[in-house]
Amino acid sequence: MAFQTLTSWRDAIAVYRHPRVIAMLFLGFSAGLPFLLVFSTLSAWLRDLGVSRTAIGFFAWVGITYSIKVLWAPVVDRASLPFLTRLLGKRRSWMLLAQIGIALGLLGMAMTDPTTDLVRMASFALLVAFSSATQDIAIDAYRIEAIAKERQAAMAATYILGYRVALLVAGAGAFYIAEYTSWSGAYLLMAALMMVGMATALTVTEPAHDLDRENVMFEKRVIAFMQRSAHLPEQLRAAVAWFIGAVVCPFADFFSRNGLLAIVILVFIGIFRLSDITMGIMANPFYLDLGFSKTQIANIAKFFGFFMTIAGSVIGGVLVVRYGIMRPLLLGAVMVAATNLLFAFMATVGPDLTWLTIVISADNVSGGLSSAAFIAYLSSLTNRAYTATQYALFSSFMTLPGKFISGFSGVVVDGFGYVTFFIYAAAIGVPAILLVLYLMWRVNVDAMKGAQAR
């Protein structure tokens, strides 16, 4: 997890001029574009045409694909696509195939009338979501393999920028287009915008897929199985051997490299964003209940907050290059928890625009900084022999606990009020801070043991 850091601020900032760092801006846009188009934007389209709220609610199940992508990540990690893989390489071929799937799904949605064929609309939405989750797997693997670990936060920062721009396009942009043309016209344009990702996948160079000696040793599990199973049918042996290499080895590798610390790491991954996710679901209701108008919320919380998030991501990228991963990760964890206390104070102040600006600035800068550092941390945990599978595992752990606990946010607000809720949201961020400190201590201890051994 530790790595050599640069000593110059100029070198740290210059990381954003790297061609692959710049390319992540466009890949981030490609990853972010489909997300709202199968969630809130789609919900608005359906409701605008009079589809029942019950039916709209069922469309939320489409999003499960993003949380279970670890199930098919081994296929993306190891399988080759006929013709495409030979032409483009492993990561770029899967990216392009997924982008084509997204574009076709959006075209299908644009040409479907939800009032007469809701099942067909759901099927195309599922194609978009499945293809989008697959694209995420391929892009995450590309990002980790394409550049050195100390530049991962910069890759994350430009990815977040592209992703956020795509959310604006797929959110506010789609609404504007639908207002002046139609929802079908909006989705047709969104399908065309997937050309941004396709052009990037065709333009960037495929990263190297080198296996070091440790990785090759792990593949001996497959060789050992093949030697023990000579009596089995050849097709069965090949299928089981592929499963061992693609599914068993990535998980066995992670626990082998980290030992019992692997459990601590997975717990840390699961709780790092608890405070952020728990607070986030109540943010918009809080602004409205406090008395802010929708225009004020849009101008400050959404538009201004967008730039603050990007600023935080860029700062996080520079800090990781300058100081390594762990110290910016600690700073991000502290900032995310502390900003909830600012929300608690604002709940006592009332609808004050100055305070809203201050709180939004702090919240979005801390969110952007912590996200960039956290993505760099997750990237540092992966073995490049199993990049896609292991990162998909981490990203699933990253959101599932937060999604579950955030479901009780409304209960806390209704029972105790906003001040208590935001103090509670800050408090559940404390375990993440403590675990960062513990992991920092373990990194230092391991470094000292390594130095003594030499």
pLDDT digits (tens, 9 = 90+) for 252-294: 888 888 888 889 998 998 888 888 877 776 776 788 788 887 6
Q: Which residues contact 169 (CB under 8 A, 6 or more apart)?
A: 29, 33, 190, 193
Instruction: Look at residue 227 in the predicted model and tell me its pLDDT.
Output: 65
In the chain, % of residues over pLDDT 90? 33
For the chain, give every domain's residue range: 1-207, 221-248, 260-454
Among the listed residues 429, 423, 431, the one whose alpha carbon sits nearest the alpha carbon of residue 275 = 429
- Whether the pLDDT of residue 164 is over 90: the answer is no
Least confident of 38-47, 183-192, 337-346: 38-47
On the 0-12 / 13-18 / 19+ scale of CB atoms within 10 A, 372 is buried
- Whether the pLDDT of residue 320 is over 80: the answer is yes
C-alpha span between 206 and 195 (Å, rounded): 19
pLDDT single digits (tens) 186-210? 999 999 999 999 999 999 999 876 5
Instruction: Look at residue 225 in the predicted model and tell me its pLDDT.
Output: 63
pLDDT single digits (tens) 358-388? 998 999 899 889 988 888 888 888 877 777 7
Other Cβ atoms closer than 10 A to 56: 17
Q: Which residues contact 369 (CB under 8 A, 6 or more apart)?
A: 312, 313, 315, 316, 319, 328, 331, 332, 335
1-207 under CATH 1.20.1250.20, yes or no:
yes
Over range 37-54, report the average pLDDT.
82
Q: Which tokens in the block code for residue 72?
A: 């098919």
Tokens 């955030």: give the residue. 406
Least confident of 63-77, 146-160, 208-222, 323-337: 208-222
Instruction: Look at residue 324 in the predicted model and tell me its pLDDT.
Output: 84
Least confident of 58-62, 118-122, 328-332: 58-62
C-alpha span between 108 and 34 (Å, rounded): 13
Per-residue confidence band for 1, with pLDDT thresholds at 50, 70 and 90:
very low
Q: Which tokens in the block code for residue 198?
A: 């396709």
Helix (H) / strand (E) element for 87: namely: helix 84-88
Cα 398 to Cα 266, 273, 390, 408, distances in angstroms: 9, 7, 12, 18
Instruction: Look at residue 454 in the predicted model and tell me its pLDDT.
Output: 60
Instruction: Look at residue 200 in the predicted model and tell me its pLDDT.
Output: 97
When the pLDDT of each residue in the chain is averaged and rounded to a whole number, the result is 83
Instruction: Look at residue 214 in the predicted model and tell me its pLDDT.
Output: 46
C-alpha span between 365 and 157 (Å, rounded): 12
Fold designation for 260-454: Growth Hormone; Chain: A; (1.20.1250)
- Cβ distance 38 to 132 under 8 Å? yes
C-alpha span between 128 and 137 (Å, rounded): 14
The model carries a pTM of 0.73
Question: Do the domains 260-454 and 1-207 match in fold?
Answer: yes
Over range 227-231, report the average pLDDT.
69
